[in-house]
Chains A and B, each alone.
Chain A
Amino acid sequence: MVPRVGRVRRRRRESPSVWTLEIEADGPAAAPGQFNMLTAFGIGEAAISLSGDPAVPGRLIHTIRAVGPVSRALTRLGAGEALGLRGPYGAGWPLAEAAGRDVVIVAGGLGLAPLRPALYRLLAERERYGRVLLLYGARSPADILFRRELESWRKRLDVGIEVTVDHAGSDWRGHVGVATALIGRAGFDPARTIAMICGPEIMMRFSIAALRDAGVTSQTIFLSMERNMKCAIGLCGHCQLGPVFVCREGPVFRHDRVAGLMTPKEL
């Protein structure tokens, strides 16, 4: 309930409203898919997923979109400034379960940020997994997150990276179209595949449909849900989705656990 104090080491602008903070702080390392509650003192607190390499101790990387007073205040913190930190919280990506299998990662927009730690882990322990494939949809080429990193991963021979945008200028040589279209063309073996998805909920629903059309089962699809969070420990009631507390049993869920909860409107 009480934050510990961390310090911003660096911040980097990823796109007009998205910033990545590198934070120095004590405490347990977050696992891929987990989140921390970051406090901008005097303003408030927000739940932000880890977006950096979980293997580096004492250094937390969070990618934040400035959409409200708290996130805006966080993205304005400069090097040396203090912020509050609580966490890590939540259930993360099923990397242990993915061992020996092909991993298809489907990311939409800012959804690439909570998936990046999983990618770091997969690539660091590459021999543990089968095929690794990232399918990433962004709004336009200017909105592609972590572009240089994606380009350097692309140079590797053991990971597939496909990027698409909703629209582009004529200087874009890559895919234009919905991320779900990449799924149909990706050519993975559904029986060997574990899928991890993060992005706007509409995009996740359609991606799940495309994955299932391709033969991936509900038990091998994992998604990261987002809900309003205040306490992050299952005591304030805000993040409930049906019987589930997203902060505690999620944010990463196996699809069959939440499939029935995503269909009714406004649940």
Chain B
Amino acid sequence: MSGAVKDIETIVREHPFFEGLLEPFGKLVSGCARNAHFQPGEYLFHEGGAADQFYLIRDGCVALEIKAPGRGAITFQTLRADEVVGLSWLIPPYRWTYDARAVEFTRAIAMDGACLRGKCEADHDLGYEVMKRFMPILVGRLQATRMQLLDVYGDDA
């Protein structure tokens, strides 16, 4: 993307995930944010690791994978611009349950999970704004997962 380098607060506000977030929440949230980028093939995090941050993708593509013995890494979801990678930072024990790997060069906003959790505890109104934005994503992923689980396209083996 060309143009002047934007400050982190602007970048956070512009991301669709935080659309409509009122002041002073924007400032609070930005305090937990920083820029991040990943090379193709680079992992954002691994299964079992501490889920201490999550990522709002600005552009690029991230594959969520699970490794199974004998089957290698199985990708069960790809996420692209404007989508969110990482939900386990919200719930104890704050551990990742899968790997996330950048498929292409990916730019993202890395949000410090512990930082944001702390601010949500301190200000429940902020907490509600954050929860309101995560719930639709969670529910959407759950519905999609059910469809994938049903294996509707049939047995091609």
CB–CB A178/B147 < 8 A? yes
Sort chain A's interface into a size bin.
Answer: 35 or more
CB–CB A139/B63 < 8 A? no
Is B154's beta carbon under 8 Å from chain A? Answer: yes
Q: Which of A171-230 contact B (CB under 8 A)?
A: 172-178, 180-181, 185, 199-200, 202-203, 206
Given the complex of chains A and B, what is the CA–CA distance between A168 and B150 in angstroms? Answer: 16
CB–CB B152/A176 < 8 A? no
Is A167's beta carbon under 8 Å from chain B? Answer: yes
Given the complex of chains A and B, what is the CA–CA distance between A192 and B122 in angstroms? Answer: 48
Shortest Cβ distance from B40 into A: residue = A173
Is B121's beta carbon under 8 Å from chain A? Answer: no
- Contacting A176 at CB < 8 Å: which of B75, B143, B150? B75
Shortest Cβ distance from B41 into A: residue = A170
Is B77's beta carbon under 8 Å from chain A? Answer: yes
CB distance from B98 to the nearest CB of A (A): 12
CB–CB B74/A168 < 8 A? yes
CB–CB B77/A108 < 8 A? no
- Contacting B150 at CB < 8 Å: which of A17, A164, A202? A202
CB distance from A228 to the nearest CB of B (A): 17
CB distance from A265 to the nearest CB of B (A): 16
B73 cross-chain contacts in A, Cβ below 8 A = 169-170
CB–CB B72/A169 < 8 A? yes
A168 cross-chain contacts in B, Cβ below 8 A = 74-75
Is A109's beta carbon under 8 Å from chain B? Answer: yes
- Contacting A139 at CB < 8 Å: which of B72, B104, B156? B156
Shortest Cβ distance from B79 into A: residue = A177
Residues on A facing B (Cβ under 8 Å): 15-18, 65, 67, 108-110, 137-139, 142-143, 164, 166-170, 172-178, 180-181, 185, 199-200, 202-203, 206
